[in-house]
A and B are shown apart, each in its own frame.
Chain A
C-alpha cells in the first residue's frame, strides 16, 4: 500500500511536470491550466522574465525536479532545487498579484514542498550542520577557516596563522588592485573583520 507521504510526493511531481511542460510545449497539454497574471506589475515582471529566458530556466528546474519526484530519484535534492522556484511563484502570486485564488494555490504548492522537505529532514543533515569542513580542512584549530578568521579564541598556532595570512593578504590585494570602483573599498572594509580575528589570534598565540 502506498504511504501518504509518497502520495504527496507524487502529487507535487504531478503538479510540477505538466505545468512546466505546458510552458515549453503548450500544444501538447492544451487542457493544463497555468497561472494567468492580470495585475500590471505581475504581467510586466513575468513578461520580462519570459523574454529574458529566466522563466524558462525556472520551468526547466520545475520539470526536472518534478520528474525526480515522480521517479523517486534524488528527492531531497529535487525538493531543494524546486523550493526556490516555488518561493518566487508564491511571492508573485501573493505579494505582487494578490489574487486570492492564485495565492492559495501558490501557497499550497509551497507548503507541500516545505512539508516534504521536513519529511526528508535527515537527508539535509549535512547541509544544516554547523562547523562543516571544506576540502583540505581539518578539525584541529588553525586547520579550518572558522578557527582562523571567525573565532579569535580557537587557539591556532602562530605558524598556522602565518600560513593563513597568505589567502587573507591575497584577498585584500585582489580588492585593492583588481576590483574597480567603490566595490574595492567596500570589499576591503568587510575584510577588516577576518583581519581583526586573525590579529587577535596572532597576539594570543604562543610560539
Chain B
C-alpha cells in the first residue's frame, strides 16, 4: 500500500510539474529561467536559438499529457528520460551542485527514475526473452516459431 501511494503522489507531482513546464515554451505562463552561469546560459540560449529547445519541450509536454491521461505511461517515462537527464545536468553541473537550481534538477530526474522503477515490469522484455528480430512487414505464419 505504501508503494502504491508513493507512486500516485510522485506521478501527480511529476505531471503537475511537467505539463506547465512543457507548455510554457509554447504559451508563456511564467518567465523561463535562462541560467545564471556563463555555461548554463550559453547552452540554454544555443538550444533556444537553434530551435532544439522546441523539440525538447514538445517531448516534455507530450510525455506530461500521456502521464496525465494515463496513456502508454511506460512509453512516456522512457521518452522523457533524456529530457529529465538534461534538466538534471543543466541544473546541477552547469548551474552549480549546491544551488537552489540543483534541487529542481534532482527532483525532476528523481521522479522520472522512481516511476521507471515502479513500472520496471513493463521494461523486462527489452532486456531478456525477446523474440528474434524480423522484418516489420513479415507476418508470422501459423506454426512458425515466435523466437
Please list the residues of chain A having a beta carbon within 8 angstroms of any beta carbon in chain B: 5-6, 9, 41-42, 44-45, 47-49, 51-54, 57, 74-77, 80, 84, 87-88, 91-92, 95-96, 115-116, 118-137, 143, 145-146, 148-151, 163-164, 166-168, 170-171, 174-175, 181-183, 186-191, 193-194
**Bound complex: CA A84 to CA B16 (Å):** 24
Residues of B within 8 A of A187 (CB): 13, 16-17, 20
CB distance from A166 to the nearest CB of B (A): 6
Interface contact B43-A190, CB-CB below 8 Å: no
Please list the residues of chain B having a beta carbon within 8 angstroms of any beta carbon in chain A: 1-9, 11-13, 15-17, 19-21, 24, 29-30, 39-40, 42-43, 46-47, 49-52, 55, 68-75, 78, 82, 85-86, 89, 93-94, 115, 117-127, 130-131, 133-136, 146
Interface contact A183-B17, CB-CB below 8 Å: yes
Task: Identify which of A120, A145, A171, A181 contacts B133 (C-beta below 8 A).
Answer: A120
Interface contact B133-A5, CB-CB below 8 Å: yes
- The count of A-to-B residue pairs whose CB atoms sit within 8 angstroms is 200
CB distance from A97 to the nearest CB of B (A): 10
- A8 — nearest CB in chain B belongs to which residue? B133
Interface contact A45-B16, CB-CB below 8 Å: no
Interface contact B5-A52, CB-CB below 8 Å: no
**Bound complex: CA A75 to CA B125 (Å):** 11
Chain B contact residues: over half helix, strand or loop, or mixed?
A: helix
Residues of A within 8 A of B39 (CB): 51-52
**Bound complex: CA A163 to CA B2 (Å):** 11
Interface contact A126-B74, CB-CB below 8 Å: yes
**Bound complex: CA A116 to CA B2 (Å):** 40
- A88 — nearest CB in chain B belongs to which residue? B52
CB distance from A71 to the nearest CB of B (A): 14
Residues of A within 8 A of B50 (CB): 41-42, 44-45, 92, 96
CB distance from B64 to the nearest CB of A (A): 8
Q: What are 17 A-B interface contacts by the 8 Å CB criterion?
A: A5-B134, A41-B49, A51-B42, A122-B130, A128-B74, A129-B72, A132-B119, A133-B121, A134-B118, A135-B117, A135-B118, A136-B118, A137-B7, A143-B4, A164-B8, A170-B9, A175-B13
Interface contact A124-B125, CB-CB below 8 Å: yes
Interface contact A145-B72, CB-CB below 8 Å: no
Residues of B within 8 A of A124 (CB): 125-126
- B17 — nearest CB in chain A belongs to which residue? A187
Interface contact A149-B12, CB-CB below 8 Å: yes
Known A48-B42, A80-B78: A119·B7 in contact at CB below 8 Å: no
**Bound complex: CA A122 to CA B131 (Å):** 7
**Bound complex: CA A170 to CA B5 (Å):** 10
Task: Identify which of B4, B12, B15, B82 contacts A136 (C-beta below 8 A).
Answer: B4
18 additional contacts (CB under 8 A) given A45-B52, A74-B126, A150-B70: A45-B49, A52-B40, A75-B130, A87-B55, A116-B133, A124-B126, A126-B121, A127-B78, A127-B123, A130-B71, A132-B121, A136-B1, A136-B7, A148-B8, A166-B9, A170-B12, A186-B20, A194-B15
